[in-house]
Amino acid sequence: MHFFNPVPKMPLVEVIRGKKSSEAAIATAVAYAAAMGKTPIVVNDCPGFLVNRVLFPYFAAFSLLIKDGVDFQKIDKVMTKFGWPMGPAFLLDVVGIDTGHHANDVMAASFPDRMKLGFRSSLDVMYEAKRYGQKNGVGFYKYTPDKKGKPAKEVDPAAYELLKPVMDGGSDGSAVSDEDIVDRMMLAMLIENSRCLEEKIVESPVEADLALVYGLGFPPFRGGIFRWADSVGVATLCKKAEKFSKLGKLYEPSAQMQQLAKTGGGFYS
Protein backbone atom coordinates (compact mmCIF):
# COMPACT_ATOMS: atom_id res chain seq x y z
CA MET A 1 0.00 0.00 0.00
CA HIS A 2 1.48 3.32 -1.11
CA PHE A 3 0.21 6.42 0.71
CA PHE A 4 0.78 10.06 -0.26
CA ASN A 5 2.04 13.00 1.80
CA PRO A 6 0.54 14.52 3.81
CA VAL A 7 -1.14 11.21 4.63
CA PRO A 8 -4.01 12.68 6.71
CA LYS A 9 -5.05 14.94 3.83
CA MET A 10 -4.29 12.99 0.64
CA PRO A 11 -7.12 10.55 -0.19
CA LEU A 12 -5.26 8.23 -2.59
CA VAL A 13 -3.73 4.85 -1.74
CA GLU A 14 -2.05 2.87 -4.52
CA VAL A 15 -2.47 -0.86 -3.93
CA ILE A 16 0.39 -2.53 -5.78
CA ARG A 17 -0.22 -5.92 -7.35
CA GLY A 18 2.95 -8.02 -7.26
CA LYS A 19 3.63 -11.02 -9.49
CA LYS A 20 2.48 -13.42 -6.76
CA SER A 21 -0.25 -11.31 -5.15
CA SER A 22 -3.45 -13.29 -4.65
CA GLU A 23 -6.85 -11.79 -5.37
CA ALA A 24 -7.63 -12.20 -1.67
CA ALA A 25 -4.58 -10.13 -0.71
CA ILE A 26 -5.49 -7.37 -3.15
CA ALA A 27 -9.13 -7.33 -2.02
CA THR A 28 -8.04 -7.17 1.63
CA ALA A 29 -5.72 -4.22 0.98
CA VAL A 30 -8.41 -2.40 -1.01
CA ALA A 31 -11.00 -2.96 1.73
CA TYR A 32 -8.55 -1.80 4.41
CA ALA A 33 -7.82 1.43 2.49
CA ALA A 34 -11.55 2.06 1.99
CA ALA A 35 -12.22 1.46 5.69
CA MET A 36 -9.74 4.26 6.47
CA GLY A 37 -11.72 6.60 4.23
CA LYS A 38 -9.12 6.48 1.46
CA THR A 39 -9.62 5.97 -2.28
CA PRO A 40 -7.72 2.84 -3.36
CA ILE A 41 -6.46 2.32 -6.92
CA VAL A 42 -4.97 -1.06 -7.87
CA VAL A 43 -1.87 -0.81 -10.07
CA ASN A 44 0.68 -3.31 -11.29
CA ASP A 45 4.26 -3.11 -10.05
CA CYS A 46 6.91 -1.01 -11.79
CA PRO A 47 9.50 1.57 -10.67
CA GLY A 48 7.59 4.51 -9.20
CA PHE A 49 4.31 2.56 -9.38
CA LEU A 50 1.86 4.79 -11.31
CA VAL A 51 1.78 8.24 -9.71
CA ASN A 52 5.50 8.78 -9.13
CA ARG A 53 6.36 7.26 -12.50
CA VAL A 54 4.23 9.85 -14.31
CA LEU A 55 5.32 12.70 -12.00
CA PHE A 56 9.03 12.51 -12.83
CA PRO A 57 8.68 13.20 -16.56
CA TYR A 58 6.84 16.35 -15.41
CA PHE A 59 9.85 17.24 -13.25
CA ALA A 60 12.16 16.41 -16.18
CA ALA A 61 10.19 18.87 -18.32
CA PHE A 62 10.64 21.46 -15.57
CA SER A 63 14.42 20.88 -15.55
CA LEU A 64 14.56 21.31 -19.34
CA LEU A 65 12.63 24.57 -19.14
CA ILE A 66 15.08 25.92 -16.54
CA LYS A 67 17.94 24.80 -18.82
CA ASP A 68 16.32 26.90 -21.55
CA GLY A 69 16.45 29.92 -19.25
CA VAL A 70 12.83 30.04 -18.10
CA ASP A 71 12.31 31.60 -14.65
CA PHE A 72 11.12 28.92 -12.20
CA GLN A 73 8.72 31.43 -10.64
CA LYS A 74 7.16 31.98 -14.06
CA ILE A 75 6.76 28.22 -14.51
CA ASP A 76 5.10 27.97 -11.09
CA LYS A 77 2.71 30.83 -11.92
CA VAL A 78 1.78 29.38 -15.31
CA MET A 79 1.10 25.91 -13.90
CA THR A 80 -0.97 27.21 -10.97
CA LYS A 81 -2.96 29.26 -13.48
CA PHE A 82 -3.51 26.01 -15.40
CA GLY A 83 -5.03 24.65 -12.19
CA TRP A 84 -2.33 22.86 -10.20
CA PRO A 85 -2.37 23.64 -6.45
CA MET A 86 1.33 24.53 -6.68
CA GLY A 87 3.97 24.80 -9.37
CA PRO A 88 6.81 22.28 -9.83
CA ALA A 89 9.50 24.32 -8.03
CA PHE A 90 7.31 24.82 -4.98
CA LEU A 91 6.21 21.17 -5.13
CA LEU A 92 9.83 19.99 -5.10
CA ASP A 93 10.48 22.20 -2.07
CA VAL A 94 7.48 20.69 -0.29
CA VAL A 95 8.39 17.09 -1.21
CA GLY A 96 12.03 17.72 -0.25
CA ILE A 97 14.83 18.31 -2.74
CA ASP A 98 16.84 15.41 -1.26
CA THR A 99 13.86 13.07 -1.58
CA GLY A 100 13.16 14.27 -5.11
CA HIS A 101 16.81 13.91 -6.11
CA HIS A 102 16.98 10.32 -4.84
CA ALA A 103 13.70 9.35 -6.51
CA ASN A 104 14.85 11.02 -9.73
CA ASP A 105 18.00 8.86 -9.73
CA VAL A 106 15.85 5.74 -9.35
CA MET A 107 13.55 6.75 -12.19
CA ALA A 108 16.46 7.76 -14.44
CA ALA A 109 18.06 4.35 -13.93
CA SER A 110 14.75 2.59 -14.65
CA PHE A 111 13.73 4.64 -17.72
CA PRO A 112 17.01 6.15 -19.01
CA ASP A 113 15.76 6.81 -22.54
CA ARG A 114 13.43 9.57 -21.33
CA MET A 115 14.10 10.29 -17.65
CA LYS A 116 17.92 10.44 -17.62
CA LEU A 117 18.61 14.05 -18.52
CA GLY A 118 22.31 13.86 -19.31
CA PHE A 119 23.10 17.30 -17.91
CA ARG A 120 23.50 18.97 -14.52
CA SER A 121 19.97 20.03 -13.68
CA SER A 122 18.37 22.58 -11.37
CA LEU A 123 17.49 19.71 -9.03
CA ASP A 124 21.18 18.71 -8.92
CA VAL A 125 22.15 22.31 -8.14
CA MET A 126 19.74 22.59 -5.22
CA TYR A 127 20.72 19.18 -3.86
CA GLU A 128 24.46 19.90 -4.06
CA ALA A 129 23.93 23.23 -2.27
CA LYS A 130 22.03 21.34 0.47
CA ARG A 131 18.95 23.41 -0.24
CA TYR A 132 16.41 20.73 0.61
CA GLY A 133 13.27 22.88 0.57
CA GLN A 134 10.88 23.49 3.41
CA LYS A 135 12.57 20.94 5.65
CA ASN A 136 15.68 23.14 6.10
CA GLY A 137 14.28 26.51 5.06
CA VAL A 138 15.88 26.92 1.62
CA GLY A 139 15.25 25.39 -1.78
CA PHE A 140 14.06 27.11 -4.93
CA TYR A 141 12.47 29.49 -2.46
CA LYS A 142 13.34 30.32 1.14
CA TYR A 143 10.95 29.78 4.04
CA THR A 144 10.41 31.60 7.31
CA PRO A 145 7.74 30.70 9.87
CA ASP A 146 4.58 32.84 9.71
CA LYS A 147 2.52 33.86 12.74
CA LYS A 148 1.07 30.36 12.97
CA GLY A 149 4.49 28.74 12.66
CA LYS A 150 3.90 27.48 9.13
CA PRO A 151 6.65 27.99 6.52
CA ALA A 152 5.95 31.07 4.40
CA LYS A 153 7.46 31.11 0.91
CA GLU A 154 9.73 33.98 -0.12
CA VAL A 155 11.85 34.76 -3.18
CA ASP A 156 15.56 34.10 -2.62
CA PRO A 157 18.01 35.85 -5.00
CA ALA A 158 20.67 33.27 -4.03
CA ALA A 159 18.65 30.57 -5.82
CA TYR A 160 18.92 32.48 -9.09
CA GLU A 161 22.67 32.85 -8.73
CA LEU A 162 23.00 29.10 -8.21
CA LEU A 163 20.92 28.34 -11.29
CA LYS A 164 22.83 30.57 -13.74
CA PRO A 165 25.48 27.93 -14.60
CA VAL A 166 22.85 25.35 -15.64
CA MET A 167 21.11 27.66 -18.12
CA ASP A 168 22.20 27.32 -21.74
CA GLY A 169 24.21 30.39 -22.66
CA GLY A 170 22.52 32.45 -19.99
CA SER A 171 19.28 32.53 -22.00
CA ASP A 172 16.47 34.50 -20.39
CA GLY A 173 13.82 32.10 -21.70
CA SER A 174 11.83 34.94 -23.29
CA ALA A 175 11.20 32.87 -26.42
CA VAL A 176 9.27 30.28 -24.38
CA SER A 177 5.60 31.28 -24.22
CA ASP A 178 3.14 30.43 -21.45
CA GLU A 179 1.46 28.02 -23.87
CA ASP A 180 4.81 26.31 -24.51
CA ILE A 181 5.36 25.93 -20.75
CA VAL A 182 1.98 24.22 -20.31
CA ASP A 183 2.51 22.04 -23.38
CA ARG A 184 6.01 20.95 -22.34
CA MET A 185 4.97 20.16 -18.77
CA MET A 186 1.72 18.39 -19.60
CA LEU A 187 2.84 16.47 -22.68
CA ALA A 188 5.68 14.82 -20.76
CA MET A 189 3.21 13.65 -18.10
CA LEU A 190 0.54 12.59 -20.61
CA ILE A 191 2.91 10.50 -22.73
CA GLU A 192 4.12 8.57 -19.67
CA ASN A 193 0.53 8.01 -18.54
CA SER A 194 -0.26 6.59 -21.95
CA ARG A 195 2.74 4.26 -21.70
CA CYS A 196 1.41 3.06 -18.33
CA LEU A 197 -1.93 2.28 -19.97
CA GLU A 198 -0.19 0.41 -22.79
CA GLU A 199 1.81 -1.64 -20.28
CA LYS A 200 -1.28 -2.34 -18.13
CA ILE A 201 0.30 -0.67 -15.10
CA VAL A 202 -3.12 0.89 -14.68
CA GLU A 203 -6.25 -0.72 -16.09
CA SER A 204 -8.21 2.25 -17.40
CA PRO A 205 -8.11 6.00 -18.13
CA VAL A 206 -10.70 6.48 -15.36
CA GLU A 207 -8.41 4.95 -12.70
CA ALA A 208 -5.39 6.90 -13.95
CA ASP A 209 -7.33 10.16 -13.85
CA LEU A 210 -8.62 9.41 -10.36
CA ALA A 211 -5.08 8.61 -9.18
CA LEU A 212 -3.68 11.91 -10.47
CA VAL A 213 -6.49 14.03 -9.06
CA TYR A 214 -6.39 12.37 -5.63
CA GLY A 215 -2.66 11.65 -5.45
CA LEU A 216 -1.06 14.67 -7.13
CA GLY A 217 -3.72 17.36 -6.97
CA PHE A 218 -4.22 17.35 -10.75
CA PRO A 219 -6.73 20.15 -11.49
CA PRO A 220 -10.05 18.44 -10.65
CA PHE A 221 -12.07 20.71 -12.96
CA ARG A 222 -10.07 19.29 -15.89
CA GLY A 223 -11.17 15.77 -14.94
CA GLY A 224 -7.71 14.20 -15.03
CA ILE A 225 -4.91 13.93 -17.57
CA PHE A 226 -6.82 11.78 -20.06
CA ARG A 227 -10.01 13.89 -19.84
CA TRP A 228 -7.83 16.94 -20.47
CA ALA A 229 -6.13 15.22 -23.44
CA ASP A 230 -9.48 14.34 -24.99
CA SER A 231 -10.73 17.91 -24.51
CA VAL A 232 -7.71 19.28 -26.37
CA GLY A 233 -7.64 16.42 -28.89
CA VAL A 234 -5.04 13.66 -29.06
CA ALA A 235 -4.17 14.55 -32.67
CA THR A 236 -3.61 18.17 -31.63
CA LEU A 237 -1.35 17.10 -28.77
CA CYS A 238 0.67 14.78 -31.02
CA LYS A 239 1.16 17.71 -33.39
CA LYS A 240 2.31 19.87 -30.48
CA ALA A 241 4.77 17.14 -29.45
CA GLU A 242 6.46 17.40 -32.85
CA LYS A 243 7.51 20.93 -31.95
CA PHE A 244 9.51 19.59 -29.00
CA SER A 245 10.88 16.42 -30.62
CA LYS A 246 14.42 17.82 -30.48
CA LEU A 247 14.19 17.56 -26.68
CA GLY A 248 14.24 13.77 -26.92
CA LYS A 249 12.10 10.73 -26.21
CA LEU A 250 10.35 12.51 -23.35
CA TYR A 251 8.22 14.11 -26.08
CA GLU A 252 7.76 11.11 -28.34
CA PRO A 253 4.04 10.22 -28.33
CA SER A 254 3.26 6.64 -27.34
CA ALA A 255 2.09 4.14 -29.96
CA GLN A 256 -1.37 4.40 -28.39
CA MET A 257 -1.43 8.18 -28.85
CA GLN A 258 -0.23 7.94 -32.43
CA GLN A 259 -2.97 5.45 -33.23
CA LEU A 260 -5.66 7.61 -31.60
CA ALA A 261 -4.38 10.61 -33.55
CA LYS A 262 -4.73 8.67 -36.83
CA THR A 263 -8.29 7.54 -36.09
CA GLY A 264 -9.44 10.78 -34.49
CA GLY A 265 -10.24 8.92 -31.30
CA GLY A 266 -9.74 9.76 -27.66
CA PHE A 267 -8.77 7.88 -24.53
CA TYR A 268 -12.40 7.71 -23.42
CA SER A 269 -14.01 7.20 -26.84
Which positions are annotated as active-site residues?
2
For residue 215, how many C-alpha atoms fall within 13 Å in the half-sphere facing its CB?
Answer: 25
> For 81-116, b where at least 16 C-beta lie within 10 A, e where not — what string?
ebebeebbbbbbbbbbbbebbebbeebbeebeebbb
For residue 239, how many C-alpha atoms fall within 13 Å in the half-sphere facing its CB?
Answer: 8
Listed as own residue / partner, the contacts of 26-30 with beta carbons closer than 8 Å and 24 or more positions apart are 29/1
> Contact 47/53 with Cβ under 8 angstroms?
yes
Based on its alpha-carbon atoms, the radius of gyration of the chain, rounded to whole angstroms, reads: 19
- Compute the distance between CA of residue 74 and CA of residue 177 in angstroms, rounded to an integer: 10
> Contact 122/63 with Cβ under 8 angstroms?
yes
Which residues touch 58 (CB under 8 Å, ≥6 apart)?
88, 185, 186, 188, 189
> Contact 190/34 with Cβ under 8 angstroms?
no
Q: What is the DSSP string of 209-224?
A: HHHHHHHH---GGGTS
- Compute the distance between CA of residue 64 and CA of residue 69 in angstroms, rounded to an integer: 9
